[in-house]
Chain A
Amino acid sequence: SQQGEEDPQALSIQEGENATMNCSYKTSINNLQWYRQNSGRGLVHLILIRSNEREKHSGRLRVTLDTSKKSSSLLITASRAADTASYFCATVQGGSEKLVFGKGTKLTVNP
């Protein structure tokens, strides 16, 4: 069953704009991860945020986590055409080792 649910399902922006994707989950978590999938490829890990962290940065990526609302957001600043991909959040539920993925946000960055 899906644990994380991304929102929106699809997002289309112009190059240079910021892209924000949200993820909501249902149960307590140990950590939350974001992955990217280019068309026809496997998933690639982007960033991991632990349940006791509120914000994390990596290059043009900024991830926030609000455990009281059971939600996370991924912000990509100054987007590029190469950022076009699907983005997934994944969670490890407390007491489990299974990494469960949402259905993803499909991001299109227009040049």
Chain B
Amino acid sequence: DARVTQTPRHKVTEMGQEVTMRCQPILGHNTVFWYRQTMMQGLELLAYFRNRAPLDDSGMPKDRFSAEMPDATLATLKIQPSEPRDSAVYFCASGLVGTRSSGANVLTFGAGSRLTVL
């Protein structure tokens, strides 16, 4: 089965450090989403890309978060500097969005990156 791969699975870091999370989406999917999940806020959409171009990053704190897709096989989410309130599970998901093909608009999620900022 094709799957979305996220690294690292777990990351513990100290406040102020840079954190980079990586995602390998499913080949052939045209859209990649980044979500953050916490107990208090649930699943929040941070940003998404279509064909590698950023379409919406309005859910991201712009001063410290950045998301890029340097090529079709890699999406990155970077936090610099990290803060304790960034502690959460970060999910990447990919899908074939905006087409009429079977399975369109359904997302496949990675297993998540659990970030703890001390």
Contacts and interface: CB of A to CB of B under 8 A. Distances in A.
Interface residues of A, number: 21
Given A31-B105, A45-B106, A48-B105, A103 B98 contact: no
Contacts of B15: none
Interface residues of B, number: 23
A43 interface: yes
Contacts, number: 49
B25 interface: no
A88 interface: yes
A2 B42 contact: yes
A41 B111 contact: yes
Interface stretch (A19-27, A55-63, A68-76, A94-102): A94-102
B109 A43 contact: yes
A41 B91 CA distance: 10
B55 interface: yes
B108 interface: yes
Given A42-B111, A88-B43, A97 B98 contact: yes
Interface in B4-55: 4, 31, 33, 35, 42-43, 45, 48, 50, 55
A86 B48 CA distance: 24
Contacts of B112: 41-42
A99 B105 contact: yes
Given A41-B111, A97-B31, A99-B33, A92 B105 contact: yes
B107 interface: yes
A100 B45 CA distance: 7
A2 B33 CA distance: 16
A33 B86 CA distance: 28
Contacts of A92: 105
A44 B4 CA distance: 12
B91 A42 contact: yes
Contact of A97 (B4, B43, B97, B106): B97
Given A42-B93, A43-B43, 11 more contacts: A30-B105, A35-B109, A42-B109, A42-B112, A43-B107, A43-B109, A45-B107, A48-B106, A97-B31, A98-B45, A101-B35
